[in-house]
Amino acid sequence: MSSTALLVPGTARADVTDVSASVEFDRLSPDRVATITLEAKSESGITDVEASLENSHLPDVTTPIGTLPLALVDGTVNDGTWRAEYEVDIETHPGFIGFDVAVTTADGATLTRQAGIGSCYQGQFADLTTTPAIVDPDERGVEVKGRLLVRKTQGADPEPAPQGVEIRTLGDTSARVAADGSFTLTSPSTVTRIHVPAGQVVCNLADDAPEADYSEKPTEISASIVTPQPVAAGTEVTVEGIVRREGANGFEPLNNMTVAGYTTFSKDREVRVAEVDSAEDGTFRFSFTARASGPVLVQTEDTSFLTRSRTSAGRLSVTGAPEFAGFTAVSQPGAPGASEDTVIATGRLVNGDAPIPGERIYLERSGEDQLFWTEEATGVTAEDGSFSLSTGTRSSHYWRVRSEGSDGNASTMSVGTYVKVRQATHASVTAEPGADGLVTLTGSLERSGDAGGPVSERPVHFYFQPEGEATWVHRGWPPPTPRAPSPGSSPSTGTAAGRSGSGATTSTSRPTPPSARWTSGPTSRRRSPGSVPRRRRWRRVTRSR
């Protein structure tokens, strides 16, 4: 590998022009010869070219080596090339070798140009390890071990670096290489990047030891609005609280943790009103100017060792500002066979005792984190400020209502309310004909979606529709329950055989007319007279909370 330094042409006087000095050096060459070259032009002629050599190395030491004359090898003294060779001894002069090349001309002028090379072996780290593999927040230091190797010539195998080479972490913790090239670095931080500082017998290089995993500890935060309410718009409101984190003796006060306060907090909208650091005893306190009624949230962020925590400091009630009064969100079961339940949100938008009519409001839902809210329905408040918004849903969520604000009314939002809805289910069924016209339906009922799993102890109803008729007749259900026959139909009973939690169900129906079809819901495929379906896939037979 070669190293070349090229200087920008310059002059000491008008007599000397186009001056440049460079050094070519291959540190992997067995002879390790550096070639110094100077190119220059001079009207009066160059009478002497000489290089002064200096060695710079750790710890910030510069030592003169000697002088080296350069000979004219091409051209003339007015426009030529001067060159010399220098055999580099890396272990005698490690670090950096500088060449100050002085050019003297016939008119008595002298100028100097500089060039240099790294006098060092090419290095590499090997066998890097980091302990412990998991770092605890109470003991954050890590230990990095490994070996430093060097390759002295092209094609040679790596060998241990010379003893005493210094290795550092980014935090400037250092260690020295042993005779076998091994080293051990103890760092008070979790940073595992290490490097060989320049100016040594081994060239500067850096590498990353394996990163340690972090043992995250949970945090908890509590807070409350301590200013008496309600308050007028523009009033300073104060929130106080404390942050704790899990320690050896349970949850302990956490100091120097940043706490942020919000009056609106979501991925698409947020209003941060304060940011403070917790005190030595974990407590914090901040104040902000009240603008509108609504929830006040406080939150800490994730760190390498601590998890985020968030809580409500309470609801701020501001007089002279809009707010939602009597807000409720409840679920209502869908119609039989429906795949969704309905969430209904009601309440009033008021300013004090005065209703706010004609205001556009939105019904929004969010997951457990309440970070990202999605609009699901919208409407306008009535003359008395009331509203009723509804939408279908298959999953349990947090729900809130929000107004954008208009005609001088400030925007506001309600608290998030968790609404649990029934979970969709699906069933698979097999129909088997038996003796005396009996038909046995066997299947399983399971929850849909990510939760999955069997559903036990839920009634599953079976219906029969004679060929050519439009009426479905209930024919069986588990657990066994007597049922009076419907007009024009045969009596039926249902039996269930299953293990608790398995969701398995078996039902036997009494003889039916041969020209019939079976289904588990309001739709089916028509069968030819005299046939019985051998297998049926059910969809959302029931919904389970």
Class of domain 323-419: mainly beta
Taking the model in full, what pTM does it have? 0.49
Positive/negative CA dihedral, 404, 406, 411, 413: negative
Q: For position 225, what pLDDT does the model report?
A: 96
Over residues 299-306, the mean pLDDT reads 86
Task: Place domain 2-119 in its CATH homologous superfamily.
Answer: Macroglobulin (MG2) domain (2.60.40.1930)
**pLDDT, tens digit, for every residue of 495-522?**
333 333 344 444 444 443 333 333 433 3
Q: ∠ CA 58-62-65 to the nearest 5 degrees?
A: 120
**pLDDT, tens digit, for every residue of 333-354?**
877 767 789 999 999 999 888 9
Over residues 346-375, the mean pLDDT reads 89
Question: Residue 515 burial by CB count (10 A; 0-12/13-18/19+): exposed, middle or buried?
Answer: middle
Q: Does domain 122-214 have CATH number 3.30.70.3150?
A: no
In the predicted structure, residue 321 carries a pLDDT above the cut 90:
no
Domain ranges of the chain: 2-119, 122-214, 219-319, 323-419, 424-544
Cα–Cα nearest to 274, from 262, 266, 283 = 262
Over residues 472-487, the mean pLDDT reads 55
Q: ∠ CA 31-33-38 to the nearest 5 degrees?
A: 165
Q: For position 478, what pLDDT does the model report?
A: 56
Domains 219-319 and 323-419 share a fold: yes
Bond into 482 cis (ω within 30): no
**pLDDT, tens digit, for every residue of 95-125?**
999 999 999 999 888 999 999 999 999 999 9
Is there a contact between 103 and 113 (Cβ–Cβ < 8 Å)?
yes
Class of domain 219-319: mainly beta
